[in-house]
Amino acid sequence: MNIRLEIYGCLIAITIVITGCKKVQYEPDPSDIPSGAPLVTVIYDPGALGDRSYNDLIYAGVERAALTRGLRTLQLSPSSASEGLAALDTYFEQMRMLTDTVRRLLIVTGAEYDEYIREHSKELDGNSLADLLYLETKEPLPGKGSTLCLPYYGAMYEAGAVSRIYSGTTLLIAANSELQVIQESVKGFTDGFNVNYSESEENPELLLEWISDETVGGFRIDDGSAMDIVYGGGSMPVANLVFPICGGASGTFYQLSNLFGGYEYVGIDVTSVSPHCPFSVVKHIDRALDLCIGEWLSAEGMPKHQTLDYADGWTEFVLHPYTDMQKYFTEKVLSAEMLGTIHEDALKKEAGDE
């Protein structure tokens, strides 16, 4: 069996050795024998890196934290779930056997490995030098390790409310209905869209399209399937504004707009995409990873679980300044006062005060 793992990060070199059909071993490259510097390893969902949004922000945040703190990194982007699980198997086996004094942090980025992580986290209990950080869950791990959640409801609520005022028909494209983070995003956007802040007599339509019905599906899509969703088999798009909440698949919908036109889109986890993108919703996961790595290195360590929310700026709704968007909103359609009202409502709703 051939196993291919893409390796990112410039601070450590690793040789991958395949033994049999189920083992993956990492052996130090002789030209880069590890020093005593702490090692941060990141394992992504299959094909996640290169999405130019959430996962690439994770990569940048980890590398920035490593450079400023003198750490070594190993970032793995498997091409399949089986490759990712094989890498996790190797990591946990090594953690049980290591006798050196190097501190190690494993960061697992998504739901593809949820069952495995929850089943095996206790295996790290006996190693004081090994730790685990599992992203985007509100459920703490049963064994050793920390969890992190950046709720998206508030920022999505604000985006939904503004989209109703800005657009006619809006198409919300979601990866799948199984993941909590996607459910929360869809609910936030829908709740905001359904409030008529401008008191307009128009009743714009919100369309919802799920890409997949699998728990971790919908984060990749081919051009043909994306065309069918956006253009509905015709030459004109089915909506004026498209909001793809689908990770790496979002880039396909951005490209279709840039190539064929007919609709604008809301960016996700990007602050600037193109003139076809009037506003974005951003999760500052890069800053969150820098925070967590700093906590891990501290005497107190990382909390068992922490939530970094909208009120403290960890997620954000961003109006883009080009094409006079801010002037359009603040002077012609949506006043600064109304924007402030929407923002305050979003904060209260995410906090559960309404």
**Could you tell me where the beta strands, DSSP code E, fall in the chain?**
5-8, 14-19, 23-28, 39-43, 72-78, 104-108, 130-135, 146-149, 170-176, 206-212, 241-245, 264-265, 267-268, 279-283, 305-307, 315-319
Closest CA to 320 of 156, 153, 161, 162: 162
Helix ranges, 53-148 (H): 54-69, 81-97, 114-120
Chain mean position to CA 202: 34
Digitized pLDDT (tens) for each residue of the chain, 354 residues in all: 333 444 444 443 333 332 333 333 334 444 444 568 999 999 998 888 888 888 999 999 999 999 999 999 999 999 888 999 999 999 998 888 877 888 999 999 988 899 999 999 999 988 889 999 999 999 999 999 999 999 999 999 999 999 998 888 999 999 999 888 899 999 999 999 999 998 888 889 999 999 998 877 898 899 999 999 999 988 899 999 999 999 888 889 988 998 888 999 999 887 666 788 889 999 999 999 999 999 999 999 999 999 999 999 999 999 887 555 666 666 667 778 888 999 999 999 998 866
Burial of 276 per CB tally in 10 Å (0-12, 13-18, 19+): middle
Side-chain half-sphere exposure of 315, counting CA atoms within 13 A:
26
- 3-state SS assignment for residue 18: strand
143 vs 92, 111, 133, 136, 275, CA distance in Å? Answer: 13, 17, 12, 17, 47
CA distance 81 to 44: 10
| Cβ atoms of residues 314 and 150 within 8 Å | yes
Closest CA to 45 of 131, 125, 111, 136: 111
| pLDDT given at position 214 | 86
